[in-house]
Amino acid sequence: MAFQHNRCPVHLLFHCKLEPVVLLLFVLGGFEWISTGLYLSPGMKTNLTLPAAIVNKGWKIQIGCQTDYLSHQQLIRAPSVHLRVPITSEKMQVQNLWGGLIYLLAPSQTRVTGVEMVVQQAVLAPYYKSAVTTADDWSQRRAAPSPWAELEFDNIILTVPSKAVRDLEQVDELAQVWNNIMKTIVELATKPLKFPRKERIVIDVQISHGWMHAGYPIMGQTSTAYLITNTTKIAGGMWGPIHELGHNQQRSCWEFPPHTTQCTCNLWSVYVHEELLGIKRTEAHSDLTSEKRKARMKKYVADGRKLSDWSVWTALETYLQLQEKFGWEAFKKVFAGYFEMSNFPHDNKGKMNLYAETFSRVVGMNLSGFFKSWAWPIEEITEEDLSHLPPWTDHPMAQYN
Ligand SMILES: *[C@@H]1O[C@H](CO)[C@@H](O)[C@H](O)[C@H]1NC(C)=O
Ligand SMILES: *[C@@H]1O[C@H](CO)[C@@H](O)[C@H](O)[C@H]1NC(C)=O
């Protein structure tokens, strides 16, 4: 079936029932996008009837999923193509020159249940929602004319060009794969299974920086659409998207920027690949072969063990060595431990000492020698605090001491 989205004759009335929205905890802060499964063509106007409960309460209408601002020399699309309008009235008319999917933006800490929004005219989008859309519904709906499609699973929503999902038959299977991925991510983070706000990945022809980047939404370039919607491809490994989801799990209390910014997120990539996908770390990323790991460690030592060199893969080596000795359970206990703490130090030195101490207590060993061998600025007081614990002496860096 071929549709031309901008010529679709739409004189329809859509009722979108709002699901209960309960947003209590925000890691990233900010609001939540609520999908409608509807699309507006470029320049197409629509009238909305909105519930009084969300008027002048910080809610917005958003048209368009492509929210990155672009400042590239060479542009593939205009720098800004989405529109956000505060909801200030029960009757509103909206349009966006570029068109786009229609969203409601809920402010954080919001609870609204059982209210309806009416969208007078719009174009149907291929839209799947777990536990709502049946396989039969989907077989029709995936042909809907909007050029943008959304797959809303339990803890993540994928927004992709519709052409990437027109032939997607086993959507339930894909849902299961993503539900398992998200479950595995919170398992390592020791957080409740239900994300306080579903993560989002949005695909665009051009994004603000990188091949993909973290945030809400996580953004990725077009080819990624064919990875994240294909269970066969995912089963073969999906480092990048999990790396970005890992970024969204990073907490400043155990992050040492800039050293670990592109490092600790990879713990999630390694964990998901090994524990869920059954892909060993050596196979999960070409930079994690034993040879490369060993060479990196040697180079770090040869270059004089400078904390300034301790970043990305080199920094990850420290964590992998800990994991290989103490297992993922130790990491889970450490992450869980941080949820019990407050009044964190703000500087890297303070935070690194706290981490060394926390990890040492969790595993019942004095790890100060290990961290010092990686040039962490371990203080005497930390070493004294760990005096009752046996030291870890035969660690992988000891051979270079
Ligand atoms: C999914 O990926 C596999 C392996 O790359 C490929 O053979 C298959 O055609 C893809 N499926 C779809 C629907 O694109
Ligand atoms: C902890 O280990 C470090 C390095 O192995 C050692 O120098 C320190 O004395 C140990 N702390 C105590 C109090 O045993």
Task: Tell me 264's DSSP state.
Answer: T
Indicate which residue's Cα is closest to atom 3 of ligand 2.
Answer: 369
Calculate how far, in angstroms, residue 368's C-alpha sits from the geometric centre of ligand 2.
Answer: 7
pLDDT per residue as tens digits for the range 30-68: 689 999 999 999 999 999 999 898 999 999 999 999 999
Pairing of strands 212-213, 199-204: unpaired
- Under the banding of pLDDT at 50, 70 and 90, the label for residue 3 is very low
Report the candidate in 245, 198, 238, 193 with the shortest Cα–Cα distance to residue 219.
Answer: 245
Ligand nearest to the CA of 233: 1
Mean pLDDT throughout 200-221?
95
Which residue type sits at 26? F
pLDDT per residue as tens digits for the range 248-269: 999 999 999 999 999 999 999 9
Residue 328 phi/psi, 5-degree rounding, is: -70, -25
| Domains of the chain: residue spans and CATH | 24-248 (3.40.390.80), 281-400 (1.10.390.30)
- Under the banding of pLDDT at 50, 70 and 90, the label for residue 207 is very high
Q: Which atom of ligand 2 is nearest to the CA of 372?
A: 4
CA distance 147 to 103: 15
Calculate how far, in angstroms, residue 210's C-alpha sits from the geometric centre of ligand 2.
Answer: 43
Indicate which residue's Cα is closest to atom 6 of ligand 2.
Answer: 369
Q: Are 45 and 120 in contact (CB under 8 A)?
A: no
Q: Which atom of ligand 1 is nearest to the CA of 231?
A: 1
Calculate how far, in angstroms, residue 369's C-alpha sits from the geometric centre of ligand 2.
Answer: 6
Which residue type sits at 210? G
CA distance 237 to 68: 27
* pLDDT(212) > 60: yes
In whole numbers, what is the pLDDT of the chain averaged over residues? 91
CA distance 186 to 51: 34
Calculate how far, in angstroms, residue 25's C-alpha sits from the geometric centre of ligand 1.
Answer: 37
- E-strand ranges in 208-311 read 212-213, 218-221
Ligand nearest to the CA of 173: 1
Task: Tell me 216's DSSP state.
Answer: S
SS3 of residue 44 by DSSP: coil
Q: Are 87 and 107 in contact (CB under 8 A)?
A: no
CB-neighbour burial class of residue 116 (10 A; exposed 0-12, middle 13-18, buried 19+): exposed
Calculate how far, in angstroms, residue 297's C-alpha sits from the geometric centre of ligand 1.
Answer: 38
Tokens linked to 46: 């629509």
CA distance 66 to 140: 25
pLDDT per residue as tens digits for the range 110-135: 777 777 889 998 999 999 999 999 99
Ligand nearest to the CA of 238: 1
Calculate how far, in angstroms, residue 229's C-alpha sits from the geometric centre of ligand 1.
Answer: 9
- Under the banding of pLDDT at 50, 70 and 90, the label for residue 93 is very high
CA distance 262 to 75: 27
pLDDT, residue 371, reads 97
Ligand nearest to the CA of 227: 1
pLDDT, residue 273, reads 98
Mean pLDDT throughout 157-172?
97
